[in-house]
Amino acid sequence: MGTAVDAARKELIGILQTNNKKFIVVFVLGGPGSGKGTQCAKIVEHFGYTHLSAGDLLRAEINSGSENGTMIQSMIKEGKIVPSEVTVKLLQRAMNESGNDKFLIDGFPRNEENRAAFEAVTGIVPEFVLFFDCSEEEMERRLLNRNQGREDDNIETIRKRFRVYMESSLPVIEYYNLKGKVQKINAAQPVEEVFESVKGVFSKVAA
Ligand code: UDP
Ligand code: MG
């Protein structure tokens, strides 16, 4: 008894928190295999942000046995974009639970609907967008070489993810580019060299 009410209350408090706190958000975008997760881990160490990978949050949601789990799992396997209401809720919850006020949101927003929903629900606009620019050949090579047991790191799903990225995610990057918010990084280099460029951006922006 009361658990549904408690859950609803907790969620409402969470929403009020996100909307009132001055959260700083950097969107980290780039194709699958462009190095977002790797570089985010390094940014966390040096600059004190909390890293929120939308893909990781969705995979955790599958593993938690949530009622949305089956739907999320089949969308990831097809390389499709999960409905915004699911992803935005997970991001908002993670922000409120983190205790931090600075976030790297990795792999989101992936389409125009994601972008508009996040902004409408949280009232947050990103400080800037960190964009990892990398050729498809290099990204494909990295994805096929990494072995994290992911169901979507096979050539068939990778091709679908590239297509969704080109058709749906690049327009979001272009949207922010027109607003002068994109910091573009050459991501087709070794990890340490890419991080040198990333450090340059964060030192400049945080100064
Ligand atoms: N995904 C999604 N919405 C998001 C982030 C991820 O629907 O905001 C799904 C989508 O199916 C995507 C998959 O999760 O292909 C893996 O995303 P992740 O960011 O982990 O992988 P990346 O493409 O960066 O390698
Ligand atoms: Mg990732």
* Residue 203 scores a pLDDT above 70: yes
199 Cβ closer than 6 Å to some ligand 1 atom: no
Q: Bigger pLDDT: 11 or 78? A: 78
DSSP character at residue 97: H
161 Cβ closer than 6 Å to some ligand 1 atom: yes
105 Cβ closer than 6 Å to some ligand 1 atom: no
Is 16 inside any structural domain?
no
Cα–Cα dist 60/44, whole Å:
20
Is 7 inside any structural domain?
no
**153, 158, 164, 170: CA torsion to nearest 10:** 90
Residue type, 4: A
Is 12 inside any structural domain?
no
31 Cβ closer than 6 Å to some ligand 1 atom: no
Is 148 inside any structural domain?
yes
Is 15 inside any structural domain?
no
**Number of structural domains in the chain:** 1
Is 10 inside any structural domain?
no
* Residue 54 scores a pLDDT above 80: yes
2 CA to centre of ligand 2 in angstroms: 37
- In 54-176, DSSP assigns E strands to 102-106, 128-133
Is 186 inside any structural domain?
yes
- Atom nearest to 161 CA in ligand 1: 15
CB atoms < 10 A from the CB of 98, how many? 15
Report the CATH number at residue 179.
3.40.50.300
* Residue 20 scores a pLDDT above 90: no
Q: What is the pLDDT of residues 105-150, one digit of tens each?
A: 999 999 999 999 999 999 999 999 999 999 999 999 999 999 899 9
60-87 residues labelled b (16+ CB within 10 A) or e (exposed): ebbeeeeebeeebbebbeebebbebebb
Cα–Cα dist 124/146, whole Å:
34
Closest CA to 32 of 204, 198, 187: 187
* Residue 102 scores a pLDDT above 60: yes
| CA nearest ligand 1 atom 24, residue | 32
Token duo for residue 69: 């789990």
Q: Report the predicted TM-score, pTM, of the whole model to 2 decimal places.
A: 0.92
Residue 191 belongs to domain spanning = 23-205
90 Cβ closer than 6 Å to some ligand 1 atom: no
* Residue 2 scores a pLDDT above 70: no
Q: Bigger pLDDT: 144 or 17? A: 144
> Which of 4-13, 89-98, 151-160 is the least confident region?
4-13
Is 197 inside any structural domain?
yes
> Which of 3-17, 130-144, 148-162 is the least confident region?
3-17
- The number of the ligand nearest the C-alpha atom of 29 reads 1
